[in-house]
Every structure is written in structure tokens, then in C-alpha cells.
Amino acid sequence: MELKGLHHVTAVTGSAQANVDFYMQVLGLRLVKRTVNQDDVSAYHLFYGDETGSAGTEITFFEWAHMPPNVPGPRSVVRTSLRVPSVDSLAWWADWLSDHQVNHGGITEFAERKQIVFTDPEGQALALVDDGGKEGGTPWAASPVPAQHAIRGLDSVNLAVHQLDPTAHVLTEVMGLRKVGVFPAPLNPEEQVHVYETAEGGAGTRVHVIEQEGRPAGRLGHGGVHHVAFRTPNGEEQIDWMNRLRGAGLQATDPIDRFYFRSVYFREPGGILYEIATDGPGFATDEDAAHLGESLALPPFLEPHRARIEAGLNPIELPVRA
Ligand code: ZN
């Protein structure tokens, strides 16, 4: 039994409209689902991904306008990296980000791969990484970004923790990741980044861990990450994972039906919320694949409350394509 890599990263935005504008028009991702946080239906849950929002391509956002800005630090995800297929693509992105007034660090290198580090307008820490054209992810045909340069999906997450060992133990001994190596941090060479990947490796399978002893813990807000989800192929293996996590002393939830996938959550010892999510059934279960994300989708148990839920949400306008 092996985790197949990253499934999605869920972050926090203070403005759904500004979030849609940036992730669709600048990053060129498809809004594959516009729904609500099932545990807080006053908040949008927006999912961006490739053409179909396949597992491993998704970055998602809760809109929590009342939250303060995120404070990065230990016990949090401090950067999310996305895959592009080549160094030529990175050069194209450097110009594109500059043209869209996005602050970025130009092309740099980390762990023997080229990347561009940047932030979204709320300070969400992101990077684009040349993954050498690995398989996985189908660019959205209507994206403003040319298909040959399009973001293919998630590459890696960067976690900051107070102590490496407990987090590393869960990654390697419980979740089956293996250590790739240790590299100097790109923005602070005095810090070491410990790189892990899921057993088979490949696209979107890496977790980077930075030990920041003695530093104040991060605080979640706009521009921060709420949790990281890993892929499991089906509900049977998910139950096995739940039992394995509990056997290792971790407090894993029962599987929760998120309608587009099923989720088991647990907090790893470094303080970061993990999820193990099934690959299916996917985003075309309740919408025509040609019209994903164009209107508010609700799981069946919330459908009777649609009028009240819609009244509590600000409308979102999708960018108009020429
Ligand atoms: Zn999730």
C-alpha cells in the first residue's frame, strides 16, 4: 500500500473574486469546482486544477474574509510548488509574472532543479518548478497560458516544524515516504531542507521539511495553507490507512464523504493538518465537464439549503475570454 503523491493543497483567501482573477487569469488554472466548505457553509470552497481537476493538480481555497493575514512559521506549510514542464517554460513564466506585476525571484535552483519563487497578491508563498516534463496533468484548453507552458499540477509542499524527527518519522515510518536528500534552503542557505518523496516518486510526490527550532509558530490567515492532502486510489485502501495511522498513535478521523472524494484527516506531530483523499469520484460527478465551476455546486445533503447558502455568499464573476 503506497500513497500516490499529493492530492491537493487547501489554502485560505480573504477574497474569492480576487482569488479567481489571479489563479485563472495569471496562473491559468481552471476553476473546476465552486462549492462551499461543508463544515462552514458561509465560506466558499474554490478548487483550481487542470482540465478535469484530476487528483494531484488541485490547489483549493476557503474564503474566510474575517481572518487576518497569515503569519508563516513552524507548524505550518510555508510554500507550495507547482510543476511546469521545462526550463523554457520557466523563462516564459518569468516574463509573464513580471508582465502581471507579480513579485518573483527569477530563475533559481533548489535540490538540483530550476524554479521561480513568487507570491500571490495575498502573500501566498508559491513556486514554479521545472519537473523535466513528467506525466500527469492535462492543461485546460481555454487557459490564457499557452499549453506548452501550463502548470501541470502540484510538485511539492514545504513544511516548517520545530523539530524534524517526529515529522520525519511519520512521513517515512508510517506514511511510507523515503528521504531524497538534504539541501540548503533557497532563501536562507543556513537552513537545511529535508526532502522526501512517496515510494514510487514521479510527479507531485515531494514533501520538504524545514526545522525551525525556537521560532514562533505560524498563524493561519489569508495567504496561508490550511492542510495538505495525499492520494490514495480508493476507499478500501483509505480504511487501511486510517487503521495504520491509528495504530501508530495518530488521531485519524473516520472517512468523511466530501462528495468529489472521501477524506481522512489527522494532525502530524509537527502540527500540520494532513488528509488522505481518494482519487475519485472527481469533479464531473455533478456537473457537465464542459461547464465545471461556472455555478455553485452543492453536495446532495446541502442542496435543500441552496437559497440560504447562496444568499450568504458574494457572487463571483469568471474572467471573460476574448
Ligand atoms: Zn482537503
Per-chain residues with Cβ under 5 A from ion ligand 1 = 10, 229, 275
Q: Is residue 290 part of a domain?
A: yes
Q: Tell me, what's the pLDDT at 142? A: 93
CATH of the domain at 233: 3.10.180.10
Which run of H or E residues covers position 77?
A: strand 76-84
Q: Is residue 316 part of a domain?
A: no
State how far the Cα of 230 lies from the Cα of 89, in Å rounded to an integer: 27
How many whole angstroms from 107 Cα to the centroid of ligand 1? 30
Determine if residue 282 is left, alpha or beta; phi over 0 gives left, psi from -120 to 50 gives alpha, anything else beta: left
Q: Do 172 and 273 touch, CB atoms closer than 8 A?
A: no
Q: Is residue 320 part of a domain?
A: no
Q: Is residue 102 part of a domain?
A: yes
pLDDT at residue 321 greater than cutoff 70:
no
Amino acid at 80: T
pLDDT tens readout for residues 23-45: 999 999 999 999 999 999 999 99
Share of the chain above pLDDT 90, in %: 92
Torsion of CA 170, 124, 81, 225, to 10 degrees: 20
Q: What is the mean pLDDT of the chain?
A: 95
Domain that includes residue 214, residue range:
6-311
State how far the Cα of 189 lies from the Cα of 266, in Å rounded to an integer: 31
Alpha helices in 192-305 (DSSP H): 235-247
How many whole angstroms from 200 Cα to the centroid of ligand 1? 22
How many whole angstroms from 320 Cα to the centroid of ligand 1? 29
How many whole angstroms from 39 Cα to the centroid of ligand 1? 12
What is the mean predicted confidence (pLDDT) over 133-147?
A: 93
How many whole angstroms from 7 Cα to the centroid of ligand 1? 8
Share of the chain above pLDDT 70, in %: 99
Q: pLDDT-derived band of residue 322, with 50, 70 and 90 as boundaries? A: very low
pLDDT tens readout for residues 245-278: 999 999 999 999 999 999 999 999 999 999 999 9
What is the mean predicted confidence (pLDDT) over 294-316?
A: 95
Q: Is residue 318 part of a domain?
A: no
State how far the Cα of 159 lies from the Cα of 78, in Å rounded to an integer: 6
Q: Is residue 241 classed as helix, strand or coil in its secondary structure?
A: helix
Q: Which three three-digit cell numbers place residue 168? A: 520525519
The total number of structural domains that make up the chain: 1
Q: Do 37 and 313 touch, CB atoms closer than 8 A?
A: no
How many whole angstroms from 8 Cα to the centroid of ligand 1? 6
How many whole angstroms from 229 Cα to the centroid of ligand 1? 6
Q: Which residues of 12-23 are buried (b: 16+ CB within 10 A; e: fewer)?
A: bbbbbeebbbbb
Q: Is residue 37 part of a domain?
A: yes
How many whole angstroms from 36 Cα to the centroid of ligand 1? 12
Q: Is residue 238 part of a domain?
A: yes
Q: Is residue 319 part of a domain?
A: no
pLDDT at residue 75 greater than cutoff 90:
yes
How many whole angstroms from 87 Cα to the centroid of ligand 1? 30
